Structure 1
Amino acid sequence: MKKIILFISFIAVMVMLAACGGTDINEKQASSKNAEKWNEIQEKGTIVAGTSGTLIAASTYDDNEELTGYDVEIMREVANRLGLDIKFEILGIDSMLPAIESGRIDVAVNDIEITDNRKEQFAFSEPYKYSYTTMVVREADNSGIKSLEDLEGKRAGGGATTIFSQIAEHFGAEVVTYGNAPNEAYLRDVHNGNTDVIVNDYYLSKFGVGAFPEFDIHLHPDLKFHPTEQAVVMDKDAETLQQKINETLSEMREDGTLSELAVKFYQEDASQKPEGEIEEIEGARLIRCDHKWEIFLM
């Protein structure tokens, strides 16, 4: 009996020691993992960035078929200041976050919005762009939309996992998805009536509409909602990389580079918060479910 009691006491002591030392071990493992991604990138000398190449002004191809845009040039400058080469992987928006998780890419830059729930899964840099959400509708009748509630029964073009599509879907729209299609496909469908609306970022929508003056489309004149912040996305544990990128973005903000690039591509300083009243979607909360972002009202 004494032997059994001694054995149980020994096990209890071992469990207590493990528990006491567990915090230190976990902290060391976390610290090692935090630095791992940055060390890996430094060893390669190259940072791999996912982007779509299909977003006018943010990530697109110029007349010489060179990849450019606000997000692209920001990431190029960040890599340059960090002494790294950069390689862009062209991906559909629905593939970018899974590509970070799998390690296929190091970061994603594609006008991706910061949300509290995304931050539970990924690390974000400080914002490099501030914006809000609006709608592209037919100019003749605003596609019959006067409010967010009028999205009920409409057909909204968008990516399956974007927050914009989730907002449209929440208010009753049927979301029509396109994969990694160019802006023209989305905009043409609103023009010809295949869809009714595109819920999207103000700046991207403005330039999309401006690029196709022959289409019967415009920005909704009355609806400005869901203020947004866009940033570089990376692995949740890549804290050293996050710190390096944040330091570089801070330098670029202070020396005017962010403002200069924003005005170049958007003709407005998208690196600063927009002025004016922007409607919040009451109680909106975005959560991740089966690799998809869904919006719920709390």
Structure 2
Amino acid sequence: MKKIITLLMGLVLLAGCSSPAEKNEDTFEALMEKGEIVVGLDDTFVPMGFRNQQGELVGFDVDLAKEIFDRIGITPKFQPIDWSLKESELNSGNIDLIFNGYTITDARKEKVNFSDPYMDNTQIIITMASSDIMSKEDLTGKVVSVQKESSAYDAVSGEEGVVENLKNGELITFDSNLDLFMDLEAGRSDAIVLDEVFARYVLLSKNIEEYRILEDNFGQEEYGIGFRKSDTTLLEKVNETLEEIRSDGTFDEIKKVYIND
């Protein structure tokens, strides 16, 4: 009987220690009391969130998150994550937000709530300049690579008649967009599909004449911030603050540091 009572007390204590995220509750008050919010990001995704030469996390989304949460009154803690597990990390409570060039899609809306869109993007196709690929049609029989679990993967996979006509009828996937460039340059990939925001920033540090950006693309999209379905108060506060930052010009000031339109 004592063992049973001890076991039951332990279960009660465990239930009492579970986080608001685990209990599918609105976590805003708990986060404010804690004074910290965990922001999940891919720390190789230039210019949105990446490490500078000193190893510090910088980028447009990093600075924007700092400004948003400074105004709300809570400190952001940036947590690099495996991008392919981003929604699982969020809904398990390991992070409180997905904030790093996170494309709004219908499939993702089933797993998370999104903030208002804050930036436009395009899924572009890049080859080496010496390639004979000039259009989407020329991808037939070619090796095409994308980032794993990315909106590029969704965009290419969602277009009828594309993937089945690639070499071996499949897309090649990598953990990061930087890996795509390395594979393209090594001649293993014939073409890569990725975010224009990322690609154009990377190409600034390369000889752009060695590459070709096709006129064809895999669609326009918008970036948003991802929230747990239960975090409606946090979503509302972030949207209100994001609108303030846009209205007073701070958004454009942050953007000028990292992105040249």
Provide the secondary structure at the position in 2 that maps to 1:112.
Answer: strand
Give the deviation of 1:251 after TM superposition. Answer: 0.4
- Say whether residues 1:68 and 2:58 are aligned partners: yes
Q: Which amino acid aligns with 2:50?
A: T
Rate the CA distance shift 1:149–1:237 in 2: closer, same or farther, 3 A. farther
Contact 2:87/2:111 (8 A) holds in 1: no
3-state SS of 1:231 partner: strand
Tell me, yes or no, if structure 1 residue 247 matches structure 2 residue 243.
no
Deviations 1:118-163 (A, max 9, x none): 222211111111122211211122xx33333333332222222112
2-side partners of 1:207 and 1:263: how far apart?
13
For residue 225 of structure 1, report the CA deviation from its aligned partner: 4.3
Q: Is the 8 A contact 1:135 1:205 kept in 2?
A: no
Distance 1:84 1:78, change over 3 A: same
Residue in 2 that maps onto 1:198: 192
Shift in alpha-carbon separation, 1:120–1:182, aligned structure 2, 3 A: closer
AA in 1 matched with 2:256: V
Question: Equivalents in 2 of 1:67, 1:218: separation in Å?
Answer: 30
Residue 134 to residue 218, structure 1, CA distance change in 2 (3 Å): same
1:87 equivalent among 77, 100, 104: 77
Pair 1:229–1:244, CA change in 2 (3 A): same
State the Cα distance separating 1:34 from its structure 2 match.
8.4
Q: Distance in 2 between matches of 1:195 and 1:82?
A: 45
* 1:177 match: secondary structure: strand
Kindly provide the CA deviation profile for residues 185-229 of structure 1, in whole angstroms up to 9, marking residues without a partner as x: 321211221111221111211112222328932322x22441111
Q: Partners in 1 of 2:77 and 2:105 — Cα distance?
A: 26
Match for residue 113 of structure 2? 123
Residue 28 of structure 2 corresponds to 38
Equivalent of 2:45, from 55, 74, 79? 55
User: Which runs of 5 or more structure 1 residues have no equivalent in the other structure?
Assistant: 1-32, 269-298
Query: Which of 200, 212, 220 matches 2:206?
Result: 212
Query: Is 1:264 the counterpart of 2:257 in the alignment?
Result: yes
Match of 1:157 in 2: 145
Residue 97 of structure 1 aligns with which residue? 87
Q: Which runs of 5+ in 2 are unaligned?
A: 1-22
1:270-285 alignment, distance < 5 Å: none
| C-alpha distance in structure 2 between counterparts of 1:215 and 1:43, whole Å | 53
Is the contact made by 1:134 and 1:199 (CA closer than 8 Å) also made in structure 2? yes
**Aligned partner letter, 1:39:** E
- Kept in 2, the 8 Å contact 1:93–1:159? The answer is no
The separation in 1 between residues aligned to 2:80 and 2:221, in whole angstroms, is 24
Structure 1 segment 223-234 matched on structure 2, within 5 A: 223-234=216-227
Residues 259-287 of structure 1, C-alpha deviations (whole Å, 9 max, x = no match): 2222221112xxxxxxxxxxxxxxxxxxx
1:187 alignment partner, one of 181, 197, 200: 181
Structure 1 equivalent of residue 15 of structure 2: none
AA at the equivalent of 2:27: K
The two structures, once aligned, show a CA RMSD in angstroms of 2.0
Q: 2: CA distance between counterparts of 1:228 and 1:182?
A: 17
Segment drifting more, 151-160 vs 124-133: 151-160
Aligned residue-pair number: 231
Match of 2:171 in 1: 175
* 1:134–1:202 contact (8 Å) kept in structure 2: yes
State the TM-score, normalized to the length of structure 1.
Answer: 0.72
Using the aligned pairs only, state the percent identity.
28
Give the letter aligned to residue 240 of structure 1.
T
> Is the 2:123–2:195 contact (alpha carbons within 8 Å) kept by the matching residues of 1?
yes
SS in 2 for 1:60: strand
Moved over 3 A (4+): none
CA distance in 2, matches of 1:52, 1:94: 10
User: 3-state DSSP class of the match of 1:126?
Assistant: coil
